[in-house]
Amino acid sequence: MTQSGYATERETTEGRVFTVTGGDWDTITGSIDPLSNEKIVVNMGPQHPSTHGVLRLVLELEGETVTEARCVIGYLHTGIEKNLEYRNWTQGTTFVTRADYLAPLFNEAGYVLGVEKLLGIEDQITERAKTIRVLFMELNRISSHLVWLATAGMEIGAISMMLYGFREREYILDIFEETTGLRMNHAYFRPGGVAQDIPDSAIKKIRDFLVYLPKKLKEYEDLLSGQIIWQQRTQGVAVLDVTGCLALGITGPVLRSAGLAWDMRKTMPYSGYEEYEFDVPTATTGDVWGRYQVRMAEMRESLKIVEQALDRLKPGPIFVADKKIAWPAQLAVGIDGLGNSLEHVAKIMGQSMESLIHHFKLVTEGFRVPPGQVYIGIEHPRGELGVHVVSDGGTHPYRVHMRDPSFVNLQAIPAMAEGALLADVIAGGASLDPVMGGCDR
């Protein structure tokens, strides 16, 4: 049959084939292909519970098969990067911590490492401060992966996992609250060190957690790994091999599930990670199942790092000695739980007029950072987090830009979804573990 003299068709083992010599494709195939009018466009999100916040997927379907997938972002834009230009260098931590809100301490770490490199004080950061940073980043990695396991489980149908994952995460947030005063958005890592020392009570909780969590991880695997529905929903689903990952710039557990053991903590160590013993888990399947296996193994490796960090935690200062940089730490809280105690205020007031003026200027104006620009890359729970920091010599950043792994990894959704079933879009998207606060910063 010939349509308007332009196209012929024939049936093959691969399906119907058209020979086109000119004209508009839709016009040519419209009256020949009975499915041409059955294509539908579905908006998944931005309110859909499986879109990890406010991600919108525009899906074109033929039946239940996805023929085209497009990601639409920007619904959670907070202007974090722009706001940094109007705050001093220390206040910047209160903004970056709100980008990827499930991994706030990693945002802070990338930022403060960049500021410290511009200041030229990387070698002056105390051992205790570096150890506390590593300790808290690994606890944060576990809490982030627990949220992934909880939400991904719920989206595939393992409702119980949602309850268990958040239950264990609460344990870690209690430790964060006891040390930093906040469960999220801590602003705990500061240029030059950390805001407060870790109390003995928090250390005891962490040691108890090291005994508690491995048993729970075993329970999760008993619940999921042998479950036939979990296997069918994850094995061979949303496959992205190592070539595809490298072509799209995909990093983190998604890349490691395809077989490449790329981990910034090993390949480009920072904060003393080269002194810790741990493995980089990998898989070879490149599918949802492989990403599940990698993240489960990563939580166990993080526990090993946490235990080593506790053993390395020796008494000492938590800030650089340079008083022109060191933000006032160990502030004594008043009886209302908010302001500073009268004793602390009296101590500051009773030193000298010069020290009082210096304290005031450091807190209100901040310190100056020499002109220059740096890029710092760290291993975030979702992949490589890069922070580009630019200074013009002033008391606040000229520009800060974050290469967020969620933003880059979202490019994989069309590659994984097109040609697959609609139900697998949910599993594939969840396996990327995107957090929209990082995409829309």
Local confidence band at 47 (pLDDT 50, 70, 90 cut-offs): confident
Tens digits of residue pLDDT in 116-132? 999 999 999 999 999 99
pLDDT greater than 70 at residue 334: no
pLDDT at 2: 42
The better pLDDT of the pair 30, 132 is held by 132
pLDDT greater than 70 at residue 1: no
pLDDT at 38: 67
pLDDT greater than 50 at residue 218: yes
- Contact criterion met (CB below 8 Å) for 403 and 427: no
pLDDT at 348: 66
Local structure of residue 254 (DSSP, 8 states): H
- Contact criterion met (CB below 8 Å) for 367 and 233: no
Q: What is the mean pLDDT of residues 427-438?
A: 89
Local confidence band at 21 (pLDDT 50, 70, 90 cut-offs): low
pLDDT at 129: 92
Local confidence band at 437 (pLDDT 50, 70, 90 cut-offs): confident
Closest CA to 322 of 134, 122, 179: 122
Token code pair at residue 55: 């991600």
Give residues with Cβ within 8 angstroms of 336, minimum separation 6.
none
Tens digits of residue pLDDT in 50-74? 667 788 888 888 888 888 888 888 8
Q: What are phi and psi of 79, to 5 degrees?
A: 65, 30
- 3-state helix, strand, coil split of the chain in percent (to 5) is 50, 15, 35
Strand bridging mode 7-12 / 2-3: antiparallel
Local confidence band at 6 (pLDDT 50, 70, 90 cut-offs): very low
CA atoms within 13 A on the CB side of 260: 18
CA separation (Å) from 415 to 61, 242, 307? Answer: 15, 13, 39
Give the C-alpha separation, 210 to 14, whole Å. Answer: 55
Closest CA to 273 of 296, 301, 305: 305
Local confidence band at 3 (pLDDT 50, 70, 90 cut-offs): very low
The better pLDDT of the pair 216, 326 is held by 216
Give the C-alpha separation, 42 to 422, whole Å. Answer: 10
Token code pair at residue 357: 């003026």
Q: What is the mean pLDDT of residues 411-420?
A: 90
Q: Which helix (H) or strand (E) holds 242?
A: helix 242-248
Tens digits of residue pLDDT in 229-278? 989 999 988 899 999 999 999 999 999 999 999 999 999 999 999 999 99
20-24, 86-90, 196-200: the lowest-pLDDT one: 20-24
Q: Domains along the chain? A: 1-32 (no CATH), 82-323+367-436 (1.10.645.10), 326-364 (no CATH)
Token code pair at residue 275: 């002194």
The better pLDDT of the pair 28, 316 is held by 316
The strand ranges marked E within 74-192 are 189-190
Tens digits of residue pLDDT in 136-195? 999 999 999 999 999 988 888 888 999 999 999 999 999 999 988 888 999 999 998 898
SS3 category, 263? coil
- The chain-wide mean pLDDT, for the chain, equals 86
pLDDT greater than 90 at residue 15: no
Length of the chain: 441
Tens digits of residue pLDDT in 348-381? 666 667 767 777 777 788 889 999 999 999 999 9
Q: What is the mean pLDDT of residues 216-223?
A: 92
- Contact criterion met (CB below 8 Å) for 65 and 419: yes
SS3 category, 210? helix
DSSP string of 30-86, one letter each residue: HTT-TTGGGEEEEEE-SS-GGGTTT-EEEEEEETTEEEEEEEE--TT---HHHHGGG
Give the C-alpha separation, 156 to 159, whole Å. Answer: 8
Give residues with Cβ within 8 angstroms of 269, minimum separation 6.
none
Give the C-alpha separation, 414 to 72, whole Å. Answer: 12
CA separation (Å) from 290 to 129, 236, 272, 301, 399? Answer: 35, 9, 29, 16, 38
Local confidence band at 109 (pLDDT 50, 70, 90 cut-offs): very high
